[in-house]
C-alpha cells in the first residue's frame, strides 16, 4: 500500500520491458521465427542497458 505511488526506477522499467519482449518472442517463435529473433535481439539490447546501469 505504501508503494502505491512509488515511481519505478529506470532499471525496473527496463526489466519489465525485457520480460515483455521475451514473452512476445516466445509466442512468435511458434509462428514466425524471424520476428522472434528480432524480439530476442531487442531484448539483448535491453540487457546491455541494464548492465550499464548496474555494473557488478
Question: Any idea which residue has 516466445 for its cell?
Answer: 26
List pLDDT tens digits, range 9-48: 899 999 999 999 999 999 999 999 999 999 999 999 999 9
Residue 46 lies in a domain: yes
Residue 48 lies in a domain: yes
Residue 2 lies in a domain: no
Residue 4 lies in a domain: no
What is residue 12's three-state secondary structure? helix
CB atoms within 10 A of CB 25: 18
* Residues belonging to the chain: 56
Q: Is 1 a residue whose pLDDT tops 60?
A: no
Residue 14 lies in a domain: yes
- CA–CA separation, 56 and 50 (whole Å): 11
pLDDT of residue 30: 95
- CA–CA separation, 2 and 54 (whole Å): 25
How many domains is the chain partitioned into structurally?
A: 1
CA end-to-end span of the chain: 31
Amino acid at each position: 500500500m505504501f508503494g502505491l505511488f512509488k515511481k519505478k526506477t529506470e532499471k525496473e522499467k527496463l526489466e519489465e520491458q525485457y520480460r515483455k519482449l521475451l514473452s512476445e518472442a516466445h509466442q512468435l517463435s511458434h509462428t514466425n521465427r524471424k520476428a522472434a529473433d528480432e524480439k530476442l535481439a531487442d531484448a539483448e539490447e535491453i540487457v546491455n542497458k541494464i548492465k550499464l546501469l548496474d555494473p557488478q
